[in-house]
Structures are given as C-alpha cells and as structure tokens.
Amino acid sequence: MKLTKISSAILLSTFSLSAVQAAGLDRSGQSIHAFLQPGNYAEAGITVIDPTVRGQAIAQLGGQKISDMGDDYYFPSAALKVQATDHLSLGLIYDQPFGADATYNTETTSFSETHPLLKVTEGTSVEVRTENLTALFGYQPNQNWNFYAGPVWQTVEADIKLRGTTYKNTGYNINVDTKEAYGWLAGFAYQIPEIALKAAITYRSEISHDAKSTETSNLPIYASFMSDTDPRKAIYATKGFRQSTVNATTPQSVNLDLQTGIAANTVAFANVRWVHWDQFTVSPEMLGELGQDLISYSDDQWSANVGVGRKFNEKWSGTAMVNYDTGAGNPVTTLGPTKGYWGLGVGAQYSPTAQTFIQGGVRYMWLGDAHAQTANNIVAEFKDNTAMAYAMKIGYRF
C-alpha cells in the first residue's frame, strides 16, 4: 500500500467539493488543504450552489404557498503555498466563508408589499457577502509535523429588504457598508507520506465587526438622541431613516481533517467541522426597536464529509463522498430557512502533467425541514427542499 508523495498529493487534492457548506451562513468551509500540499503549490476554484427552497406561510398570515426563494450563488477561492526552506512554509488563502442570497416572490403577500408612495411591489430579499484573506506561516521540525498560524483579514457587507405581513409591513431596509476586521488561526498537522496518512486540526478565531449601516422604514421612528421625557420627541418623529452601527461577530470554528491510505493508490478521508453559531444574533438599532432581530441562530453547527479517493492511472483520479450537516438550530431565520442537510457527491480529476490538474465535482443535497420565525414567532414552514452544488478547480505544482 506504499504511495509515492506525488500520488498521495494528487489524491489529497480531490477534496474540493467537501468544502461546500449549507448551514446558517456557512459557505466555503474555510479549508487549508492547499497549505498542506507538498512543495510549492497554487490553485484557483469556483463553486456554484443551486438551491430549491419552498414553503408555506402559517394560517394566521394567509397560509400562502411560498415559491422557490433560494437564489443561486457562487463563490471563488484561491490559494498559494511556498515551501521556502525544508522547515519553513508560507501560504495565502482567499475564500468567501459566510453569506446569504434569497428573494421571495412578490405574489406572496406575507413576504412582499407595495410601497405606499412609489406603488412598486417588492419581495423580501437578502444579499450578504464576506471575504477572507488568510496568511499562513508553517514550521516543520521534521517530515512528520507541521505547526502553523497566521492572521486573517475579513470584510463583510449586506443589502437586505424585509417586506410583507411577516414583518408587519414595515418596509424595512438595511445596507451595511463594506467593513474590514481581523482575526487569527492556528493549528498543526501530522503525516506519514509513505502510507498517505495525514491529520490536521485548525482553529479559527471569531472576528468582530462594527460596520456602518443605513436603515430605513415606512414606520415612524423617534430620534434616538432624545430621551423619553423630551417634549420635542413627538415633533421629531419621522419616517424611519437612521445611520447606525451594526455589531456582528463571525463565529469561531474548528476543522479536523483526516486521511489515510487503505490500498494501493486509494485513500479514505474525513472532514469534521464545528462552527460556534450558538446564541449568534444580529440586531440593528431600528429593527430592534421594531421588535425583531435580523439574523438569529440557537445551536452550534456540526458537519462531516466522509469519502474515498482513488487514482486510476497517471491521468485520472476520482472521489465519492457522503455529507452531513446539523444546521444551526430550528426555528431559523426567514432569510435562510433550512436546517442542515444530507448529501452525496462525486468528483473527478484530470492531470495532463504531474504538475497540473483540472478537477470537477457535483453534489446533491437533501435540505433539512425547518420552521422560519421573526420576533420569536413562527411565520412559515419549509420542507422537502434540495440543492445542487457544482465545483471546479485548477492546480499547479512548481
């Protein structure tokens, strides 16, 4: 079962589709597999998610069917790893770890409304984006151990509209300006290259953001600088407009990666990920005064990807995997109304040379049923939903 280093490296690179997440706001899985590749290495990839998320509003809100509100989305990734010396390695990883994309149909009155002045009907919609740039510094005292750490630069931005009777026809909007903040990661890996054994554990810190935002609403909101006893308060009541600061903390996480050879040119692998979503809440000022949170999760997320990779010949290799994700609690936010998933995925890799490869994969996911809530009230049920994920990556060893 002895494997050459280049064979085990090719097999290891077939992990890309295991990084597709679907719980809470989690997306990329924050993998550092590229940094654990032998020698000098570079890669670039893209993942596309096509969800189908349908549901039904509760009877008190009309009981209307909710057509597919899950928007397709994609996120790119890139990585560079340089083995500077026998004992020192450097790396740079770009990904988009968290996000949300959803649009409710304007025909569902519980999630849409007509502007009183413009006479334009809009549905609830959400677009949240984050970007990560991670610098890694690794120390390898021998061929078996690798200790690494580094800083993380992260940005977050959002554009969200809440419409319909679900949100009491407030016509609420929030636009969060791009804001950067910093965190860190640390971990270690152990390997025995001769048998393709590799284990790594990586911790990422939470990252706190204080982002400037603009909130608007159709409802009167009193000037926040006035006290309840200020007689001018009623005079200064206005159609809601406020520039405020949104406090949001992206969660800490731990990734455990395992791989071992089980036959000639064949490996078994597993990835386990924990994300600290428990008690995660984002509550902008104006929306909080209207009695609602923007996003709220109650449980930590656990996910696992288990599979087998095989090198068929010098040109082709492939993987098959099973995936499970617990989600981040139930009830959930209306902006992402699913609870985890089960999934099956397959991938293939073509290596025209020993230094280059092109990889592709597909995954089918059965999304978990969930109740959606606002202001601690159940407003809709979503069940029997699915998603497809497609991934492509190119890699180069130099």
Model pLDDT, residue 250: 93
Structural contact between residues 37 and 16, judged by C-beta atoms closer than 8 angstroms? no
Backbone φ and ψ for 283, nearest 5 degrees, come out as -135, 90
| pTM, to two decimals | 0.90
| Residues in the chain, pLDDT under 70 | 1-24, 219-239
Model pLDDT, residue 229: 57
Structural contact between residues 337 and 382, judged by C-beta atoms closer than 8 angstroms? yes
Model pLDDT, residue 2: 41
Token digits for 178? 């791009």
> What residues form DSSP beta bridges with 91?
81, 136
Residue whose token pair is 């497609």: 390
Model pLDDT, residue 1: 38
Model pLDDT, residue 228: 54
Structural contact between residues 391 and 347, judged by C-beta atoms closer than 8 angstroms? yes
Nearest-5° Cα angle at 257, 253 to 258: 155
Model pLDDT, residue 380: 94
Give the integer Cα–Cα distance in Å for 238 and 297: 32
User: Where are any strands of DSSP class E within 84-171?
Assistant: 88-95, 99-103, 112-114, 121-123, 125-139, 145-162
Q: What is the CATH number of domain 5-397?
A: 2.40.160.60
Radius of gyration of the chain (CA): 23
Give the integer Cα–Cα distance in Å for 389 and 149: 30
Give the integer Cα–Cα distance in Å for 22 and 373: 19
Residue 248 falls in which region: left (phi positive, over 0), alpha (psi -120 to 50) or beta: beta
Residue among 392, 363, 393, 373 nearest 22 (CA): 363
The ranges assigned to domains in the chain are 5-397
> 74 to each of 79, 99, 148, 249, how far by Cα in Å?
17, 10, 29, 23
Token digits for 258? 């395992």
Residue among 251, 324, 233 nearest 98 (CA): 251
Q: In Å, how far from its chain's centre is CA 36?
A: 22
- Listing DSSP states for 243-270 in one string gives EEEEEEEEPPEEEEEEEEEEETTEEEEE
